[in-house]
Amino acid sequence: MSPERRSLLKGAGLSLTSALVLPAAGALTPTLAAPSKVIPKPENGTAMPTTTTKDGTQLFYKDWGSGKPVVFSHGWPLNSDSWESQMLFLAENGYRVIAHDRRGHGRSTQTWGGHNMDTYADDLATLIEKLDLKGAALFGFSTGGGEVARYIGRHGTKRVAKAGLISAVPPQMLKTEKNPGGLPLEVFDGIRAAERANRSQLYKDLASGPFFGFNRQSAKLSQGLIDSFWMQGMMAGHKATYDCIKAFSETDFTEDLKKFDVPTR
């Protein structure tokens, strides 16, 4: 974790989301391979495509375009809508793009349990295997970066050609004996307290402040972006977003990262 990122998080109190700045549309394209033949998409006969995990959770996903597959994992407390700009750009330029709503988030089942990195990674594996993706590029933002790292740690890279961890939580966010450069537990306890007290206001405060950098001098505020962040956060279940704070802050991905054997940025 860079000194600048750590300083901003501490200074803003609850503003861990300085680590959650969304990548610009098209920023990922230079690292992608050329498009290949169309990969057939599964027929599920529903208006909203879903896949079912081993515990019965329904995961909503988007599957646009054709060509080499690019898979996106979103940050907290958002859903796959947060990737729409990048997905539209890539789908228009010869790629097949897939993004799902993490369990408890967006249009996926609001489960009571399973809000941990092992389950997130296994859910991602369920989707990748259902769609029979091969040679995929996996991109994870913030919490999604942890999901991608744990996926590779648990499931390997047989279906993965490359990976991108964007402003991601690995190797670990929490300050520990082995990770002295991390953030103190009090920072995340503060986020949990705000989540319990009034998560609607928390999401508005994060979006209007550090998430998009609107707290910076001369920054031009976008009410549309603030509203989109808030809406995505409120679509998620309260239990899911609360438990996810522990998942993204305390999970140690050191061993997962050692298993990366594909090009990664």
Whether residue 263 is contained in a domain is answered as no
Q: State the Rg of the chain over Cα.
A: 18
Whether residue 36 is contained in a domain is answered as no
pTM equals 0.84
Whether residue 84 is contained in a domain is answered as yes
Per the structure, the complete domain to which residue 165 belongs is given by 48-257
Whether residue 28 is contained in a domain is answered as no
* CATH number (domain holding residue 182): 3.40.50.1820
Residue 35 pLDDT: 43
Residue 22 pLDDT: 38
Integer angstrom CA distances of residue 56 from 46, 48, 62: 17, 17, 19
Q: Is the pLDDT of residue 240 over 60?
A: yes
Please give the distance of CA 130 from its chain centroid, rounded to a whole number. Answer: 20
Query: What whole-number distance in Å separates Cα of residue 49 and Cα of residue 250?
Result: 32
DSSP 264: B
Number of domains in the chain: 1
Percent of the chain with pLDDT over 90: 82
pLDDT in tens, 146-199: 999 999 999 999 999 999 999 999 999 999 999 999 999 999 999 999 999 999
* Residues in contact with 171: Cβ distance below 8 Å, sequence separation at least 6, in sequence order: 179, 252, 253, 254, 257
Query: What whole-number distance in Å separates Cα of residue 224 and Cα of residue 246?
Result: 29
Whether residue 3 is contained in a domain is answered as no
Residue 5 pLDDT: 42
**3-class secondary structure, 221:** coil
Whether residue 20 is contained in a domain is answered as no
* Residues in contact with 46: Cβ distance below 8 Å, sequence separation at least 6, in sequence order: none
Whether residue 23 is contained in a domain is answered as no
Virtual CA dihedral for 98, 227, 235, 172, nearest 10 degrees?
70
Whether residue 105 is contained in a domain is answered as yes
Query: What whole-number distance in Å separates Cα of residue 238 and Cα of residue 217?
Result: 33
DSSP 176: -
Q: Is the pLDDT of residue 37 over 70?
A: no
